[in-house]
Amino acid sequence: MSSTVDSPISSSKIQIHQLDRLAPRSAFLLFYAGHPPHQTMISSLSARHIARIARQQPLRLFSSQDSLVVTNVHEESGVAVLAMNRPPANSLSLELNEAISTSLKQIESNPKIQSVILASSNPTIFSAGLDITELISPSDERLPKFWNSLQQVYIDLYGSRLATVAAIQGHAPAAGCMLALACDYRIMHGGHGEEHLPTIGFNETQLGIAAPPWMGQLMVRTIGFRPAERALALGTLFPPSEALNAGVVDDVITEQSSSESNEVLKALLPEALQSQTSNPVMIKAYEEAACYAKIPPQARVASKLVTRSESLKEMQMTREDDTQHFCGFITHEVVQKNLMKYVEKMKQRGKAKKS
């Protein structure tokens, strides 16, 4: 039996073949059909349930407003988009980390896809790094789980079989910068005038904490030992042109969006990102992603392994120690005080901005 479901959020039609008998593969099947999935909702619906609803009425699989991550695939070009969608700042909570990892794996399971653009539905913030509220007075149970989820995002992104392109529309401090550095290519927006420059970098020391070794090493591998040593110690946040000069990003786009929307981006971008179809960072990110997608995948992946497998192995070997260090460090009284002060300042700044 086969039935077709009209998706209310995209014009694509989903073929559901004998869904009742495909329980464990239902999410995969739906994803495969080019439909942007919502992790929680798909996993919470049984295949039998989905099939029953599908026969009766149009199926609403997710609402892009409340998805932590929104994705879409464009099989013709082999490119997918995975966009963080956690207002107000895409700060990385346990749940957002898990959603990024799950979505990336789902995209990887589509053999027609060779590249993914990591993006943000927020036009001025790529990601504000770790959700600082996860670090303050944390529970003994959640803190290691949280850190593990971040390590996993790094492992999944850095070791992905896909070519990964970061479309950095706005700020990318700390773990936000880590996400970008774990990609294969980084394109940053040049900002809108001197007063509104986005920045990228590891600013941890400014919070009274230090980037963990694997994050610090990622910067070292990206920009070289001496510049990284200095940037890590000072907690430097690079504005776009400095980020380009230092090699933190590969490209900076200064042109403004045009009024004409790009047809491929219209098909590629999830609903929550449709306002970005004329965005020059997105256009460039798509061009780069499509360019990577044309390279024979075995060769591309083999070359990635040459540069990344050692550090990934090291990460796997030291993962547990790293979690212990992190939990010990974060729960230290002095660190907790520093973090509280930092959050207080952040809130004051927010209030001042709003008043």
Positions in the binding site for ligand LLH4SW3U (CB under 6 A)? 88-89, 91, 124-125, 128-133, 171, 173-175, 203-204, 207, 209-212, 325-326, 329, 346-347, 349-350, 353
Nearest-angstrom CA–CA distance, 32 and 29: 5
Give the residue carrying structure tokens 């090493």.
217
Nearest approach in angstroms of CB 244 to ligand LLH4SW3U is 19
| Shortest Å, Cβ 265 to ligand LLH4SW3U | 24
Instruction: Give CA–CA dist 334/322, Å, rounded.
Output: 20
Integer Cα distance of 66 and 157 in angstroms: 23
Q: How far is the CB of 351 from ligand LLH4SW3U (least distance, A)?
A: 7
Tokens 């700020």 correspond to what residue?
171
Q: Give the residue with the Cβ less far from ligand LLH4SW3U, 171 or 186.
A: 171
DSSP state of 66: G
Q: Shortest approach of ligand LLH4SW3U to residue 104 CB, angstroms? A: 19
Query: What three-state secondary structure class fits 93?
Result: coil
Minimum separation from the CB atom of position 347 to ligand LLH4SW3U (A) = 6
Pick 277 or 323: Cβ nearer ligand LLH4SW3U = 323
124/241 with CB nearer ligand LLH4SW3U: 124
Assigned token pair, 262:
């790009």
Tell me whether residue 131 or residue 288 sits nearer to ligand LLH4SW3U (CB atom): 131
Residue 120 CB, nearest approach to ligand LLH4SW3U (Å)? 11
* CB neighbour class for 241 (10 Å; exposed up to 12, middle 13-18, buried from 19): middle
Strands 115-120 and 79-84 turn out to be parallel
Q: 13 or 349, CB closer to ligand LLH4SW3U?
A: 349
In the three-class reduction of DSSP (H, G, I as helix; E, B as strand; rest coil), residue 234 is classed as helix
Question: Pick from 221, 339, 154, 194: which is nearest to 232 by CA?
Answer: 221
Nearer to ligand LLH4SW3U, 36 or 138 (CB): 138
CA gap 323, 119 in Å, rounded = 27
